[in-house]
Structure 1
Amino acid sequence: MIRPQFNDAECLTTPSSRAAPPRPSPISAAELTRHGKACIENRANPKRSAEINPPGAAQRLVDLEAGSGRELGCLRLRYEAELADARRALDDIAIERAALQVELGKIGEEHRQLHSRNSKKEADLNLAQARMRDLDAQLNAKEADLATALNENRTLENGLRELKDQVVTLELSLEDAKKHLHSEMLRRVDLENHLKTLQEKMTFQKCLHEDELKEMKRVHESRIAEMESGRRREFESKLSDALQGLRKQHEEQIQGYKEELERTFSAKVENAQLSAARNSDFANAAREELMETKLRVGNLTSEINHYQSQNAALENRVKELQEMLDKDRDLHRKRMAEKEKEMAQAQKKVQEQLEEYEHLLDVKLALDLEINAYRKMLEGEEQRLNISPSASSHSIATQATSEGRRFLHGRKRKMKARKREHSAGFKTVQHASSSGKVSIEEIDADGNFVRLKNNSDEDQPLHGWVLRRHLESVSDVTYKFPSQFTLQAGQVVTIWGAAAGVSPGPSDLIWKSQKSWGSGYNIGVTLITDEGEELAERKLMHVPREEESGEQEDEYEELMGSEMELPSQVRFLKLKYKQLKNSDC
């Protein structure tokens, strides 16, 4: 038999001191099983084991039993370690499963929330799509109007283009006229320069002839000085004759030169005058044509400016129409929201009145039951005491009841008459809207004042702001706030009429130019900013009062009267019951 060898150190190791114990092989387990069975048989039958085994085998058997015990201990420790590992793995799996279940619950809740949110978003999307279709229809209508305006604008632009072409043609003709005038002015300057040149030449010739005469005279005088005195007498006569002849000849030549120069100068002057006259006539004609051209250019420029102003006015009109459309949309949206809010408030008020009516009915029923109970108790006491119902008490109760009912019915008839009379008239209704920080809080029905309030946490300067009042048959009037006035955060300001007769406080203003804000069936006040934006509006209207509301109020008064009547009956019955108790005692 092969004996398995075991190490004591391995048997003493714990699961915490090793990572993973090795599993025993199937062969060693079978051998251990056989060895264990043999040990049990030897212990049960020691004689047989002594006969089978020799005397030296006992020690080996003891050693084998000790080794098998150690091996079994090691196996038990290994199995316990594996079992602990398996339990830890199961705990980890259970924890992970619980975490996954929690996460699954969270994901399911998120899925439900997302599903509900998706439903709300789809409903909002449907509403937005319907609103978008309405806005698209309105936009198409406005685009058609815009296309019509653009066609008109295009026609005006074509006319403007033709006028610009005419202006260009006239400017070209004006430039040609200016060039022609400039050339004529140059010709005139040339002629004037030529005339000056001729005058200078004539002056030069005259000076030259005078110099020649002086030189000839000096020469003759020198010749005369050189002549001898004897010949002086002889030649004096000849010299005088020669001098006279020369003088005459020179005078004739000078006269001829002068006449020729005069004729030439006069001819040139006449030519220059004629050309100047012609040039002046042409210049006058060109000047007149230039003036006419300037007038036409001015007229065309004014027409162009007029058409440009018309075009700008049309563009501004298109912008104003677009802004009015946007304002109408916003105002319609705000009014619809206010109407929905008013309807919700009215429904809430009706529901509260119904609940109060039901409560009063319950109270009335409870009081009726209590009265019946006290009446039965009172009748039982009277029967027990063999006392007939006293006529006085019965008459007192009847009288109290009848008086209470007469008072109640009389009061009810008066209330009905008053409400019928008032319902035949009108009731006052105030409708307000606001799109900014400041709102119109109240309009006095007698027209004494108008009250404003700053609903924000910031101060609002009212420089340039106005209040515009509308009446049915009276033209609109405006009240302008003082330039330095500022409405503090949360402050209320009251604008009184001049005829209100009140002393203004620190938060009051007086409209000195107007006695009152006016009174009538329909009064409207609009708050307008310095930029022309309508920030708030409040209307005071008188509308016919409905009959159904009066009947409901009558029923309410009747119910309240019955409630007032029932406690008096209860108190009377309680008092009567106490009196009977005291008499019994």
Structure 2
Amino acid sequence: RNSKKEADLSLAQARMRDLDAQLNAKEADLATALSANRSLENDLHELRDQVTTLELSLQDTKKHLHSEMLRRVDLENHMKTLQEQMTFQKRLHEDELKEAKRIHESRIAEVESGRRREFESKLSDALQGLRKQHEEQIQEYKVELERTFSAKMENMQLSAARSTDFANAAREELMETKLRADTLTSQVNQYQSQNAALENRIRELQEMLDYDRDLNRRRLAEKEKEIAQVQQQAQTQLDEYENLLDVKLALDLEINAYRKMLEGEEQRLKLSPSPSSHSIATPATSQGRLLPHGKKRKIKARKRAHSTGFKTVQHASSSGNISIEEIDADGKFVRLRNNSDEDQSLHGWALRRHLESVSDATYKFPSLFTLQAGQVVTIWGAAAGASPGPSDLVWKSQKSWGTGDSIGVTLITDDGEELAERKIMQIPRGEESGEQDDDYEEVTGSEMEYPPRTKRRRKKKCCLVS
């Protein structure tokens, strides 16, 4: 009954640990969701800042385009002004030429008729030279104005095209930013709804956990009361047993004294000794010698081997928080335990298997696997034929961990350090000197009568009281 209650207590504690692990997982999921929400909010703020910057740049571009258009209008007005000035200069030159012709004709009319032809020829040559000079200057002015106007127009067209392209790109980027902002807003709303659902679920789990804790606490208190009652009953029976042993020892001593007195009387009277006295006194005295009051008793615990001809010997060592708890003799699984109070990430860690006739094989843990504090993980072979639990792992590339006379497994960290090792060997009985076939463990009487409550699993032992 006590073992059943201890089993129920262990089951309740295991369930409590599972609920704590689930609560920790949910809290981790909540923290991840909150961090994602914060990152999305930061992205949204950044996108809003980018939209504001793009709007400002678009306004600057529009202002620049407006200023360029004004400059273009100014240049066109300036060009028209130059054309008007050129027309005015041309008319002015024509008027001057006409005036010069009139003056020259008047002067020619005044000179002598003999020199009229000479002056006319010289005048015509001068007029032709002046006309050519004026035409060349007008052509140069025209070419320069056309070149300046074409260059200005090309520059204005290029700047207008660049401004248009930049405005189109800014408009497209603004549309994409708006679409992305809408998408992020919908995602934020979705994450907020998921966060609210997770918070409700966490609240429900917390209530369930509190209820289970209270229930387990009440059950644990009841179990402790029952254990205390059982220990008190055992102590009472032990006291009664010791009192009976004391009474028996006193009776044996008294019987021995009577036997000696009877033998002395028989010797004095020269009578034959009674045969029943030895048979009665011998077992009593032997029992009295074997069980004196307050003396410690020995308990021998025999360990079973896998076969009658071989003995299984295990060597284990660990220099960190993670230890190799168990290696299955049939090669089905290897079990690890986290002996610390903190979670341990096994990213980059590996288990190396050593067999006698087979080359070493290495199992690598998943990148995101974490061994919880105080928990165990079982790594099964691919052909183990067992259904792994939610926290167990499977070595898919190997059917089993191997069998043989010597199986070794080494735990290696991501830095290449050998953190733990366990080796299981089959040794023939009687081969090692100084060892017995059946190992035994000495336990004092106080340890047998008052078993301490420890969390270690104790093996079942066959006890013989001598």
- TM-score (norm: length of structure 2): 0.30
User: Which entry has the higher C-alpha Rg, 1 or 2?
Assistant: 1
TM-score where L is the length of structure 1: 0.25
